[in-house]
Structure 1
Amino acid sequence: MEKIIRVPLAALVWALSSTAIASDFDGSKPLICAPVEAMECHSGEKCEAGIPDDVGAPAFMRIDFAKKVIVGPKRTSPIRSMDKDGNQILLQGTELNLAWSMALNTADGKMVSTFSSRDGAFVLFGSCTPL
């Protein structure tokens, strides 16, 4: 009898905790994100891998969905477009003569950001966590 009760209880606890984790990345909570890998790309050349510091990216950035801004240590960038698409949130804006976009996985908080101009592009890969 005790075993019969434990299995449904464990399933309920797991279901509730995975719902809480999934909702961490649905745009309802502020996030802090850390880029961990960077790529620099130019037309006609191979992309070069490096670390975010190599391309001038901050170690951490905060996403405030309610205020529609991404805040770094030196500047705040307005989010001009925000869209939920399937299992991701898509953000877009401009800063320092660059167009940027970010795709945030709503299941696990992984993110990919791109920054582009007429001269080339930077790609950042990282992860976010709720504040």
Structure 2
Amino acid sequence: MSNLAQMSMAALIWTFGATAIAGDFDGSRPLVCAPVEAMDCVSGEGCEKGIPEDVGAPAFMRIDFARRVIIGPKRSSPLSAMEKDPHQILLQGTELGLAWSMAINTENGKMVTTFSSRDGAYVLFGSCTPL
């Protein structure tokens, strides 16, 4: 490879180095996820939009796929189920009387998490990044 080609490649890597690379969101590496938007939904009443703090969600949570656990600042939640396909990773569990599900886009790390009970649901939207 010529010096010009090497410098061009280095410039591209430097410019786009923060962009996710293949494998970052396939479950092979731990992730840290941050919910940024929340919905609080009650049957028959609709949903209210807010921030994750409004529904008691942590600002950050870590996902340790190897240990099959999600770790927050106050507690950890074991994964009851995990399923992967080329487009997403699906995680499920229960905590504090709620059933939860998380879907992580394997291309860009965007996530959607739901917590549900017999009375309603919380929906969180956010992003994950590899540790």
Give TM class, smaller chain.
0.7 to 0.9
Map residues 74-113 of structure 1 onto 2, 5 A cutoff.
74-113=74-113
Please give the secondary structure, in 2, of the residue aligned with 1:53.
helix
Aligned residues: 122
Q: Percent of aligned positions with the same letter in both sequences?
A: 73
> Aligned partners of 2:85, 2:45: CA distance in 1, in Å?
32
How far did 1:21 drift? 1.0
> Aligned partners of 1:85, 1:46: CA distance in 2, in Å?
32
Q: Is the 8 A contact 1:22 1:108 kept in 2?
A: no
1:64 aligned onto 2:68 = no
> Aligned partners of 2:22, 2:39: CA distance in 1, in Å?
28
Return 5+ residue gaps in structure 1 as ranges.
none
How far did 1:86 drift? 3.2
How far did 1:22 drift? 2.2
TM-score normalised by the chain length of structure 2: 0.85
Q: Is the 8 A contact 1:33 1:128 kept in 2?
A: yes
Higher helix share: 1
> Aligned partners of 2:117, 2:55: CA distance in 1, in Å?
14
TM-score normalised by the chain length of structure 1: 0.85
> Aligned partners of 1:23, 1:86: CA distance in 2, in Å?
11
> Aligned partners of 2:115, 2:21: CA distance in 1, in Å?
29
| Cα RMSD, aligned residues only | 2.1
Letter aligned with residue 66 of structure 1? A
Q: Is the 8 A contact 1:31 1:63 kept in 2?
A: yes
Letter aligned with residue 112 of structure 1? V
Return 5+ residue gaps in structure 2 as ranges.
none
2:123 matched to which residue of 1? Answer: 123
Structure 1, residues 93-131: CA drift from partner, whole Å, max 9, x if none?
A: 000000000000000000000000001000000000011
1:36 aligned onto 2:45 = no
> Aligned partners of 1:108, 1:22: CA distance in 2, in Å?
9
Please list every run of at least 4 consecutive aligned residues from structure 1 whose deviation after the TM superposition is greater than 6 angstroms: none
Letter aligned with residue 70 of structure 1? I
